[in-house]
Chains A and B, each alone.
Chain A
Amino acid sequence: MVAGSGRRSGTPAQATASDVIIEVRDVHYGVATRRIFQGLDIKVRKGRITAIMGPSGTGKTTVLRLMTGQIEPSQGKVVVWGHDLADLSRSGIYALRKRMGMLFQNGALLTDIDVFENVAFPLREHTDLPEELIRTLVLTKLHAVGLRGAAYLMPAELSGGMARRVALARAIVMDPEVLIYDEPFVGLDPISLGVILRLIREMNEGLGLTSIVVSHDVRELATIAHDSYLISGGKVVASGTPQELASSGLDVVRQFMNGSADGAVPFHYPAPDYRKDLLGGGE
């Protein structure tokens, strides 16, 4: 499989209004005294895999929480399918979420019900489908992620990779238009990682979904992403295709893409002078 084969042309900056389905516009956000975003701009285009990258602690997951209306920006707008999330009631946001699926970093499976019931959960909550049809749909989705045989295991009996695949089956069971992945590659062995990568690509191409992947695994993202955003210091410091980011001249982008320990993002957390600190006897 050639990396990025079949990609559409165009960078995020060239997005037209009609194909942008999620837009984060000049968003500022902070927790207590810590400012996380200061003028964040991101556009997610229909049918594409958009990667949101950045060093740990830059607020990548917070971007997803903003996009899904879990938190509100202190300034700026988050527009989803043309709706400003700030104008929507809880039921309005729930209506939008029904069109989205989200894969959490740890799977977030409900631990008191088995795999089958976890995948069936959204169907039982939002539809009145007969039991036979629910069974067919659930088994189809579990088969798509290769875990039909694990349908009656409890979440505690699954490995990390399996739990994430079950969560993926649950995320797609309502046939969402947008699929959001929060750090899908963390802690996976090479086989599970390859499986998840393949599934993300297949879901996007086969089901015609729009995907948003938040991760700091540059190499993995480069093989699947159409558009990439690199966040650092509370804003997007670079955007474009993964190849464009790889050839960027910006220090912070180069450091991130090459995995350098020190550079624009310092290795050391701000601290007093080392020599003085050691000789100062802890004062």
Chain B
Amino acid sequence: MSAALEENLIVRFLRTLGQVTLFFFRLLAQCVPALGRPGLVIHQIYNAGARSLIIIMLSGLFVGMVLGLQGFDLLQRFGSEDALGVAAALGLLKELGPVVTALLFAGRAGTSLTSEIGLMRATDQLTAMEMMAVDPMRYVAAPRFIGGVVAMPLLVAIFNIVGLFGAQLVGVQLMGVDTGAFWSQMQSSVELGDVTEGIIKSVAFGFACSLIAVYEGYHAAPTAEGVGLATTRTVVASSVLTLLIDYMLTAAFL
């Protein structure tokens, strides 16, 4: 019984993995023609990116402020609170920026993408496109996927900038760390490789979160419950995959 259940789970996992992979290749094939409609793509970058700005900036500010407090508390024990700028910058650029942004993206833009596409399926809009000989992968899925992939690194960059401002606000303005030391140590210690690591992570998270959101919406059961479940799966799968990819990339960069 248990072995059968296990086998069933493994088969289901492998089948889903295969379906997602095939979907990904179909999506990639439709990305080039979708770029021929820049208006659609720009609209989706706006939807996934600009509409997530407030939550990203607010979260970035608070994460930066907490980083400033905790970093200061830790560093002053060693008498090296001047290194707060470096600690905050590395923490944000390499880990917190990409990961927290991806988690927030999955919750804000990912759910929005899934429910939008799922509702289009439930209300026959995707079928109507197919009947008009228009591939919904090109018109609906690909622009949203590209929008998410482009928006994610931009959101991460904004998160990092606001986060650094938050860390500086707490560390320098409240806790009294020297402004010159804060910025100059950051400038001298943060290397291009650290920035590149963050950029690569943000792009990888953009691919993963957007793919899951679009896939789940496209394959949602055409009912209210089906769309709800697909939206939940988007958040869960995106979050877990983000953390898994983060570990793998971090290990690869070390």
Mark A residues whose CB is within 8 Å of B: 68, 70, 90, 94-95, 97-98, 100, 102, 104-106, 108-111, 121-122, 125-126, 167, 170, 174
The listed residue with most A CB atoms (<10 A of its CB), out of B125, B129, B135, B139, is B125
**Beyond the given A97-B132, A105-B124, A167-B128, could you list 20 further A-B residue pairs with CB under 8 A, ordered by the A residue number?**
A68-B131, A95-B133, A97-B130, A100-B131, A102-B131, A108-B123, A108-B127, A108-B128, A109-B125, A109-B128, A110-B125, A110-B128, A122-B134, A125-B132, A125-B133, A125-B134, A125-B139, A126-B133, A126-B134, A174-B132
CA distance A108 to B132 in the complex (A): 12
Asked whether A97 and B123 contact (CB < 8 A) given A102-B128, A104-B128, A108-B128, the answer is no
Query: Which A residues are in CB contact (< 8 Å) with B123?
Result: 106, 108, 111
A135 to B131, CA, bound (A): 22
CA distance A68 to B132 in the complex (A): 11
Most buried by B among A100, A102, A108, A170: A108
Q: Could you tell me the distance in whole angstroms from the C-beta of A88 to the nearest C-beta in chain B?
A: 12
Q: Which 7 A-B pairs have the closest CB atoms?
A: A108-B124, A108-B128, A94-B133, A97-B133, A102-B131, A98-B133, A122-B132
Q: Is the interface of B mostly helix, strand, loop or mixed?
A: helix
The complex places the Cα of A90 from the Cα of B138 at a distance, in Å, of: 14
Contacts A/B (CB < 8 Å), 7 sampled = A70-B127, A94-B135, A98-B133, A110-B129, A111-B125, A122-B133, A174-B132
Q: How far is the CB of A233 from chain B (nearest CB, A)?
A: 26
Contacts of B133 in A (CB 8 A): 94-95, 97-98, 122, 125-126
Give A280 to B134 CA distance when docked, in angstroms. 56
Complex CA distance for A170 and B135, rounded to whole angstroms: 17
Q: Whose C-beta in chain B lies nearest to the C-beta of A180?
A: B131
CA distance A174 to B131 in the complex (A): 12
A104 interface neighbour in B127, B134, B135, B139, Cβ under 8 Å: B127
B46 to chain A, nearest CB (A): 13
The smallest beta-carbon distance between B233 and chain A, in angstroms, is 22
Instruction: Write out the residue numbers on chain A whose beta carbons fall within 8 Å of the beta carbon of B139.
Output: 125
Bound together, the chains give a CA A259 to CA B135 distance in angstroms of 41
A146 nearest CB across to chain B (Å): 21
Which residues of the other chain, A, contact B128 by a CB distance below 8 angstroms?
102, 104, 108-110, 167
Residues of chain B within 8 A of A70, CB atoms compared: 127, 130-131
- Which of B125, B128, B129, B135 has its CB near the most chain A CB atoms (within 10 A)? B128
Q: How far is the CA of A144 from the CA of B242 in the complex (A)?
A: 53
Q: Tell me, rounded to whole Å, the shortest Cβ–Cβ distance linking B243 to chain A.
A: 33
